[in-house]
Structure 1
Amino acid sequence: MSTTEQMVANLFRKLLPGCIVLESNYYPIGSSLKNCAENDLIVIFDDHIFIIEVKAGSYTYTSPVYDIDSHMSSLKTLVGKADSQAVRTLNYLKSSKIAKIYDKNKNEKFSIILNDYIEIATFCITLDNFNEFAAKAEKISFLTLNDTTIAISIDDLRVYQNYFESPSRFLHYIKQRKRAAKNDRLSLNDELDHLGMYIEHNVYSITANNMAEGKLHWHGFRENLDEYFSSLFNGLGGVKKPEQEIPTRLIEILDLLDKNSIKNRSSLAIYLLDLASDAREELSSQIDYMLQRQVEVGRMLISSTFGDVRYSLLCHQDSLKKLTDDYVRDYILSTMVINQEESRLELHLHFSKDKRLTDLEFRYWSDSDIPSQRIEELKVKGEEYAESRIMSYKRQKGLKKIGRNEKCPCGSGLKYKKCHGR
């Protein structure tokens, strides 16, 4: 394996501790091992799989003003070729239920079931740092890159490794970076602008979509990162690391997910990190409220959100009797039925006596989980739970009445006068 590929492999090991890194991979072209194609790296972490091609060729140093053909040739060689090789590997993994990976001696070394992975990304990683072109490679007209492809230099990957201390947050950034690559309205000068815009706007492709029409050129998002990394390089310190604002309770959850091998933990982390600032604050505040309120009433509660963000939260405390699985299941399914929801997250958080998070479980429910023979029964239960949520809302807010034009606390999304205020 080349030195450059080894460097890339080691950087991913630092970014995703405990990940599986498959190096110098071979797979058959067609049905026979007589002719094999090669892949540089495959990185597997929880429910994510990255297919990586590394290119160590030199990028032309002549000015594009005087030699545009040379620049186009370099991009096609270093990015275009790497992308086509990564896509070829991806297509092989898609071609059978169980795709076998071999070493150079054609000995089987790993099997991949692509359907087991929620997130797939292909990377073109170059030794040379041609940042202004790499950041826009996905949108250069003479390059047709795959939708899952991110083109970066090894220096960009080093920046990731020096910036991200949490695997969950790195994976969330990669998801947003993929979205940005497909968004024609986003044009950024380099990879640090992508990272800076992520820090500032989180799901930053949506930010671009909400702006005025036409392609927009974004500048200045790397300035705080430049200042931070410059202070580290010069040994000065004292410059705060630019980071997203994340409430303490949410950080607790993310830290627990990073430190434990909970299956599909990355999907939960990404779900939570996708939340807007107000939704993050609401989750954090609701956890604190439930931990206090449950002790006051002497029983466990269920807190639910509705609309675009749909989860049902349960906070377990040692002093309180656990709700039965049947009760929780019927509560969630009936809530989905009455609100005509396609999906809902069930999130269980376990706390110690001093209210520290010690464990969690979660499950995603879909409308296909709702038994058709129980629809009418669940509608009745759903209405009972809706009435209970309204009463709880009144107690929590100290209200005797709910304004007719306010949203109904039952979660329907309708105004109260058109829902339970009729």
Structure 2
Amino acid sequence: MRSTLEQDIPPILQKILAHFQDLGDYKNSELTSELLNFSGEGRRMLDSLIVYSLQRQPSKRTVIFGSMTGDTRLTVACWQPYLFSPNQRALEDHAKVELLMHDEPDRLVLELTFSEDSKITEIFWRRIIRQEISEAEEAKLTPEIQKAKIRRLEKVRHEEGKVGRNRKCPCGSGRKFKKCCAWNG
């Protein structure tokens, strides 16, 4: 029987926490606390994003960024340097596009570097703050925001057909489709 104080921690999250513990890296307690504060669903979603990236990246030969929205505002990159060179600029832009697209105050960016045998070798993290993004940078990212919304809408239409008017918009805004992207064509 499980204690009510035990937490459901998916395998990848266990590896991240073990990495910090093995290093005796207590300066990352803020990240540890943040990850443990995710809901069970948020933890499982993070685990799924990482597993998906690690499985798909070898055939694509490029990084697949994963992002979560809502209460868990996070973008994750799983670097596999034996397959491709890490591209921090692309990660930074992707995270900023997500933050701006969802009108978030901040976003956690998590970078995990994996060895060929799927062991975590490095972990870096930072927080992107909305107020620190200049108007010029926001203007530069606006076309990417529009492209991301269109890609999400097309993906849902391809998988499910028509998007219901009263359904949450696939762009991730949190608004109903009829009050969001349905009006934008």
Counterpart pick for 2:168 among 407, 411, 415: 407
Q: What secondary structure sits across from 1:365 in the alignment?
A: strand
| Residue 352 of structure 1: aligned partner | 115
Counterpart pick for 2:36 among 270, 273, 276: 273
Shift of 1:378: 2.2
Counterpart pick for 2:72 among 309, 330, 337: 309
Q: What secondary structure sits across from 1:332 in the alignment?
A: helix
Counterpart pick for 2:81 among 303, 318, 321: 318
Q: Which runs of 5+ in 1 are unaligned?
A: 1-195, 200-242
Partners of 1:302 and 1:314 within 8 A in 2: yes
| Inter-partner Cα distance in structure 2 for 1:334 and 1:244 | 32
Shift of 1:275: 0.8
Which deviates more from structure 2 when the two are superposed, residues 403-412 or residues 285-294? 403-412
Q: If the length of structure 1 is used for normalisation, what is the TM-score?
A: 0.39
2:47 matches 1:284: yes
Report the AA paired with residue 288 of structure 1: V
Partners of 2:79 and 2:86 within 8 A in 1: no
Q: Which runs of 5+ in 2 are unaligned?
A: none
| Inter-partner Cα distance in structure 2 for 1:402 and 1:278 | 25
| Distance change (3 Å), C-alpha of 1:418 and 1:360 | same
Q: What secondary structure sits across from 1:259 in the alignment?
A: helix
Deviations 1:334-365 (A, max 9, x none): 32223221100011111222323222111111
Shift of 1:416: 2.9
2:10 matches 1:255: no
2:141 matches 1:382: no
Q: If the length of structure 2 is used for normalisation, what is the TM-score?
A: 0.83
| Inter-partner Cα distance in structure 2 for 1:393 and 1:322 | 31
2:96 matches 1:343: no
Deviations 1:206-256 (A, max 9, x none): xxxxxxxxxxxxxxxxxxxxxxxxxxxxxxxxxxxxx22211111111111
Partners of 1:343 and 1:367 within 8 A in 2: yes
Q: CA RMSD in A?
A: 2.4
Report the AA paired with residue 274 of structure 1: N
| Distance change (3 Å), C-alpha of 1:282 and 1:256 | same
Which structure is higher in strand share?
1
Give the share of equivalent positions with the same residue, in percent.
31
Shift of 1:406: 3.1
Which structure is higher in helix share?
2
Report the AA paired with residue 421 of structure 1: A
Larger relative contact order (CA 8 Å, sep ≥ 6):
2
2:178 matches 1:417: yes
| Distance change (3 Å), C-alpha of 1:293 and 1:390 | farther
| Distance change (3 Å), C-alpha of 1:301 and 1:379 | same
Shift of 1:279: 1.0
Q: What secondary structure sits across from 1:385 in the alignment?
A: helix
Aligned residues: 181
Report the AA paired with residue 406 of structure 1: R
